[in-house]
Structure 1
Amino acid sequence: MSTTTVTPLTTADAEVLITAARRAAEAAGATVSITVLDAGGHLLAFRRDDRAVLIAGETSTRKAYTALQLDAATADLVDLVKPDGPFHSLTTALDRPLLFIAGGLPIHRDGRLIGAIGVGGGAPEQDHSFTTTAVEALSR
């Protein structure tokens, strides 16, 4: 049996993610907050635009946490937690609140989950595109 060591998400990686998401948001005219968490759910980086609504900081963090805990894009989970969805009770199942709004994305390296990014402040579809742009920038 061989074990493969995967390099964890670093602060340099987090800067790449923050910069790419920020540039995408600026190009779209959105003011956002961006949260990057490591694989343990610990804050690695955070940035809030000066004009971003205050709640964007909370939503970006909850989106990142949700993407990390469920290893899925939050955009893919929205329908699952609706009242008739199979996971409708998941929104209140944990002590730490999850947020099922597009804008959270898990980050993988060599097939392993190493962290997550969340963006809040734009429309959900915009926030999702900003996280996608950031993760693509990291993989270059």
Structure 2
Amino acid sequence: LTQCETKGYKISTTVVDLSGQVLAQLRSDGAGIHTLESSRKKAFTAMSMKQPSGNLMKVIADNPIMQPLQYMNENLLFLAGGIPIQLNGNVIGGIG
């Protein structure tokens, strides 16, 4: 959050656990109201798919047959900005 703010971006960031539950959520003053939910969904997507949400965005863009993936679960958001959190090679959560 601080790094983005120093570059002039007003954002939200969310950390989820392995079950997709929010552990922490921060929002910059003046960040758009949509940023809380989109950061949560990016974190959920990265955690549940075990890869950065930007990778999945590219897969869907490059392979139209894969587009239905984005409708599998209402918590998924295939936009860049979500990263899985790993410990000892195991995904334990996500951050968006």
Same fold (TM over 0.5): yes
What's the CA shift for 1:86?
A: 4.1
- Equivalent residue number for residue 17 of structure 2: 38
Q: 1:83 to 1:89 in 2, by over 3 A?
A: farther
Higher strand share: 2
Structure 1 counterpart of 2:19, one-letter code = G
* CA distance in 2: counterparts of 1:29 and 1:78, whole angstroms: 25
Matched, 1:63 2:63: no
Structure 1, unmatched stretches of 5+, are 1-21, 119-140
Structure 2, unmatched stretches of 5+, are none
Q: Count matched residues.
A: 96
Matched, 1:93 2:72: yes
TM-score, reference length from structure 1: 0.64
Matched, 1:80 2:59: yes
1:37–1:116 Cα contact (<8 Å) kept: yes
Q: Identical aligned pairs, as a percentage?
A: 34
What's the CA shift for 1:108?
A: 0.2
TM-score, reference length from structure 2: 0.91
